[in-house]
Structure 1
Amino acid sequence: MATKLYVGNLPFNTTENELQELFSQAGAVQEVMLMQDKFTGKSRGFAFVTMGSDQDAQKAIAEINGKTLEGRALTVNEARPREPRPPGGGGGGYGGGGDRRRDGGQRRGR
């Protein structure tokens, strides 16, 4: 059964192809998802790699966790399911203050 791994502390210029190559040394890689900022398109410094089997995933964790890539020690562990989020947008704050001058907008001394 396929196992999804979390890969953290990635250099921001890492590509999906580089991760594919790195993790394929430990076994069959089914998918690489490099997480990017949805507004800038730049890397967020982490990825998810799906390995073909639990054995391949455990081998990848053992071999790659703590390994240095471009001066950064990688974090590799089994991905956890996302925490459920409450529905809704959480509401907004209060609006801006606007001009609350009590003198009708007149400046003193003019």
Structure 2
Amino acid sequence: MKVFIGGLPTEVSEAELNAVFEDFGPVKSLRIIKDRETKESRGFGFVEMVNDDEAKEAIRCMNGQSYYGKRITVNVAEDKGPGFSRGGFSRN
């Protein structure tokens, strides 16, 4: 199950966040989203847990908690689906 994590402090590393979520179960993947130009954290990321029940427990326990002094949002990541587009220009 893919989980959204919002409100992350910029100083949090992927390794630190991975360790937090591993307390709930095996982590399949984790990524903090960074600005393309500055490479600084944009304050949110995604973690994919191997087991859905463990992901739900992580959401239940972590959502609304203070992490590095900031309240974080943790919930099921929304699937944008096949029609989702980031925009841009057409070359037709």
TM-score, normalised relative to structure 1:
0.74
Q: 2:7 aligns with which of 6, 9, 13?
A: 9
Q: 1:59 aligns with which of 54, 57, 60?
A: 57
SS of 1:46's equivalent in the other structure is strand
Distance (whole Å) between structure 2 residues aligned to residue 51 and residue 15 of structure 1: 18
Report the Cα offset of residue 21 of structure 1.
Answer: 0.6
Distance (whole Å) between structure 1 residues aligned to residue 29 and residue 15 of structure 2: 11
1:89 aligns with 2:89: yes
Q: Runs of 4+ in structure 1 displaced over 3 angstroms?
A: none
Residue segments in structure 1 that go unaligned for 5+ positions in a row:
91-110
- Alignment correspondent of 2:43: 45
1:25 aligns with 2:23: yes
Residue segments in structure 2 that go unaligned for 5+ positions in a row:
none
Distance (whole Å) between structure 2 residues aligned to residue 64 and residue 37 of structure 1: 25
Amino acid at match of 1:85: S
Paired residues, number: 88
Amino acid at match of 1:26: F
**Higher RCO structure, 1 or 2 (CA under 8 Å, sep 6+):** 2
Over the matched positions of the two proteins, sequence identity in percent amounts to 35
Q: Spell out, residue by residue over 1:41-93, the C-alpha distance to the aligned partner (whole angstroms, 9 max, x if none).
A: 00000010000111011010011111111111110001011261276428xxx
SS of 1:39's equivalent in the other structure is coil
Q: Which has the larger radius of gyration?
A: 1
Distance (whole Å) between structure 2 residues aligned to residue 88 and residue 17 of structure 1: 33
Alignment of 1:65-84 (within 5 A): 65-82=63-80, 84=84
